[in-house]
Structure 1
Amino acid sequence: MGFVSLLDENRVGALVAVLLAALASCIALAVPARAEGDEPYTVANYPVDAVAADAVTAKQKALAEGQQAAFRSLLKRLVPVTAYDQLSRLKSVKATEFLDGVVVRDERTSATQYVATLDFSFQPDAVRNLLTREGVPFTDEQAPQIVIVPVYVPPQPGKGPEPASLSAPRGSQMWKEVWAGLDLKYALTPVKLADVKPELTGDVIQKLINGDGTALSTLKEIYGSSLVVLAVAQPDLAKQRLNVSLAGRDAVGAFVLNRSYRLSLDDVAYTGETAAVISLGIIEGRWKETKVASTSQARGGYGAGAEQVHLIVEFRNMQQWQQLYGWLSRLPGMEGMEVGGLTARSAELVAYYPGGDQALASVLAKQGFDVRQLGGALLISPAL
């Protein structure tokens, strides 16, 4: 009887494995090709882990939680840090409404657990429209690719016993692996990793960390690119910290930045991964702030006669609002349109239009809109 029971369990387990494999294949095939310029809307190498009563439920739970978490990561990728507080308005947004597909890179299952590394792709236009409607500043323009060289420097001798995990070979391997595990291709600042070359001497590294600009030309000669950043990691055993320096030139310009992270000797890789994630976020943040700032400054450079206009747009439902927003944004002469507020039946907009309120009101009236002055704004209602 026990043998039959065990056999049944094995058959069930095999059946579950087949079903999960089939589901993974379907998911992988469900991802459309990315159009040029849409790469940032894929969140790759995303880890998921869930436990449930059975393997199928665990996988469903991992996918549901994973896509929501990946969506939050996507929004933080596109939005500058200075506007993160505005993302609180999007907490109730469901990732399923924006999901384009999922690719399974790696997965492991047991009777009650599902662990995997996944790529989540989201619908670019839908996400852009969401952020625009909510008036959240963002950029999805990728920077030119940069080269990052992970450099590991072992702890200084005489500061205490050196764990084997922090030796030069193992520490260097760890530091390279945590960088390789990041989402480098789809980042706003795409990254190509490079190894430490013999010409990259300790003297050159130290000059770069010290902010010596003369070493930038040396770095360019060594790696054949002007956009090269060293990510130098060195443990401090006495203080139990991992000191990380970013030094070189990215798409924004030359820079040096130093940060320190609490070093867990029991899990050095975890500290290294945290440092690498934050370091990539810093480089992305530099690019985002530059792009968002340049967009804002461009508003002062609109064509001759462009004046700021304030609009209050009335609509019956969100579908009509999306149609109206799209029509207004494509109206010839309309530039720099931003959503200042949004309710269930109306939206406040700020934009620039040649000739200002009067010219815009005339154009809208000819298109059948009901246009009225309300305070300092144009109240716009679509024809019924």
Structure 2
Amino acid sequence: MFSLLRSLFLAGLTFTLTAPAFSADILQASVAVDVTAQNTSAAREKALGEGQQQAFRRLLESMTVEADRGRLPHPANWQEWVIDFSVDQEKTTPVRYLATLSVRFKAQPVRNLLRQAGISYAETVSKPVLVVPVLAQSGRGLLWDEDNGWLKAWQERPKLSSLAPVLTPMGDSWDRQAYDVGLDRERLETLGRRYGAAQTLLAEARVSPTGIDIRLIHPNGQAALLTVANAKDQAQPPYRRAADAVALQIEESWKRANLVSHDSLGALVVTVSFNGMAEWLKIREKLERVSLIRRQDMLELARNRASLALHHSGDFAQLRTALSQADLNLSADGQGGHSLALMPAR
């Protein structure tokens, strides 16, 4: 399943790989908090305290594969690594506090923690994937219909941090005119461009007596199958559980392709081409957001060209993928060297 889903997921990212949430110095995680206490102030204080700890745990989980969850460390001094936090979507009652909490952490202590635990991790954030949830029912596919509980489950998922962000169409009049049910590559790509997605996947769900069968379909026709069995406790609605399972598989596939080994440090000299100072500054800004790049050394600077030494984690393929997430194209220059330039606008 992982190998098929990995090829499906990476198929649209090879050459068209949102700005990373991570950088060389900062790692970030977001969580939803929902706390009840004797009053709003007490609930908020408790939520912010517990939420920061949950965000740290979410950060470790988002960087590592599911098989390593049981090995994740529990450092007592994690609070020393908190830089700051922000709050969004606050809602309150006299005794309840709800919000989305985003916490920024110092990157190097977190990396050292995972290295010391012998756990490989990923840092590169993919551009968003747009998931279009189609419900197969009574011999036809439902998408924008009111009866499509599969679409609603995706739309109601909290927008939390992930190395493989997943988006869902709003279903407004623009979406409805742009695309309806069916494997129409041009229309799917048009829909994806509206949401800034690197690729668009059809998620066709079919309810069976034992659970929900899901077929993930890339516009090029590749498909992967996933079955989410019925749960005994039903703590979450079935469609929501299935949506979470699909999102987790997408994230796992991306992370497995971008795991960085503990000793994979290297340096690469690149020639950067640009048209004017404004474009050069834009490239430098994008390079600062590539978390695999630990340091940049300027070797030469001319009017429309520069030479940089990029000190990085990961291998060459992982560095190229990370750069492509920032819309930077790394390629061989045909003379034994490497060139770097902005990708053309889509």
TM-score by length of 2: 0.55
Query: What is the distance in 2 between the residues matched to 1:39 and 1:246?
Result: 35
Structure of higher RCO (CA pairs closer than 8 Å, 6+ residues apart): 2
Q: 2:156 aligns with which of 171, 178, 181?
A: 178
- Quick one: which amino acid aligns to residue 53 of structure 2? Q
Q: Which has the higher helix share?
A: 1
Alpha-carbon offset, residue 168 of structure 1: 4.4
Alpha-carbon offset, residue 137 of structure 1: 0.8
Per-residue CA deviations over 1:298-326 (Å, capped at 9, x if unaligned) read 96x999xxxxxxxxxxxxxxxxxxxxxxx
Superposition pairs of residues 280-319 of structure 1, within 5 angstroms: 280-292=247-259, 295-296=260-261
Alignment CA distance shift 1:240-1:302 (3 Å): same
Confirm or deny that 1:188 pairs with 2:163. Answer: yes
Match of 2:272 in 1: none
**2:133 and 2:151 in contact (8 A); partners too:** no
Query: What is the distance in 1 between the residues matched to 2:23 and 2:222?
Result: 26
Query: What is the distance in 2 between the residues matched to 1:297 and 1:71?
Result: 21
Match of 2:338 in 1: none
Alpha-carbon offset, residue 199 of structure 1: 5.5
Query: What is the distance in 1 between the residues matched to 2:149 and 2:262?
Result: 44
Match of 2:333 in 1: none
- Quick one: which amino acid aligns to residue 174 of structure 1? K
**2:22 and 2:28 in contact (8 A); partners too:** no
Match of 1:55 in 2: 40
- Quick one: which amino acid aligns to residue 272 of structure 1? Y
**1:151 and 1:196 in contact (8 A); partners too:** no
Confirm or deny that 1:80 pairs with 2:52. Answer: no
Alignment CA distance shift 1:150-1:136 (3 Å): same
Confirm or deny that 1:70 pairs with 2:55. Answer: yes
**1:151 and 1:175 in contact (8 A); partners too:** no
Confirm or deny that 1:42 pairs with 2:28. Answer: yes
Match of 2:331 in 1: none
Superposition pairs of residues 114-133 of structure 1, within 5 angstroms: 114-133=97-116
Give the paired residue count.
241
Alpha-carbon offset, residue 76 of structure 1: 0.8
Alignment CA distance shift 1:154-1:255 (3 Å): closer
Query: What is the distance in 2 between the residues matched to 1:198 and 1:127?
Result: 43
Q: Secondary structure at the match of 2:130?
A: strand
Match of 2:188 in 1: 222
Q: 1:169 aligns with which of 147, 150, 156?
A: 147
Q: 2:212 aligns with which of 239, 242, 266?
A: 242
Alpha-carbon offset, residue 77 of structure 1: 0.6
Alignment CA distance shift 1:273-1:97 (3 Å): farther
Q: Which has the larger radius of gyration?
A: 1
Q: Secondary structure at the match of 1:140?
A: coil
Q: 2:203 aligns with which of 231, 237, 248?
A: 231
Q: 2:120 aligns with which of 129, 137, 151?
A: 137
**1:155 and 1:235 in contact (8 A); partners too:** no
Q: Secondary structure at the match of 1:288?
A: helix
Query: What is the distance in 2 between the residues matched to 1:256 and 1:40?
Result: 34
Confirm or deny that 1:100 pairs with 2:70. Answer: no
**2:84 and 2:103 in contact (8 A); partners too:** yes
Alpha-carbon offset, residue 73 of structure 1: 1.3
Alpha-carbon offset, residue 177 of structure 1: 1.4
- Quick one: which amino acid aligns to residue 237 of structure 2? Y
Q: Which has the higher strand share?
A: 2
Q: Secondary structure at the match of 1:281?
A: helix
- Taking only the aligned residue pairs, the percentage that are identical comes to 24
Alignment CA distance shift 1:121-1:54 (3 Å): same
Unaligned 5+ residue runs, structure 1? Answer: 1-32, 158-166, 205-217, 304-328, 338-384
Per-residue CA deviations over 1:218-261 (Å, capped at 9, x if unaligned) read 4356315783212223334xx273333323279xx955021224
Query: What is the distance in 2 between the residues matched to 1:197 and 1:263?
Result: 37
Per-residue CA deviations over 1:73-112 (Å, capped at 9, x if unaligned) read 111110122322320xx12445422223222222333443
Alpha-carbon offset, residue 143 of structure 1: 2.5
Q: Secondary structure at the match of 1:187?
A: coil
Alpha-carbon offset, residue 282 of structure 1: 0.7
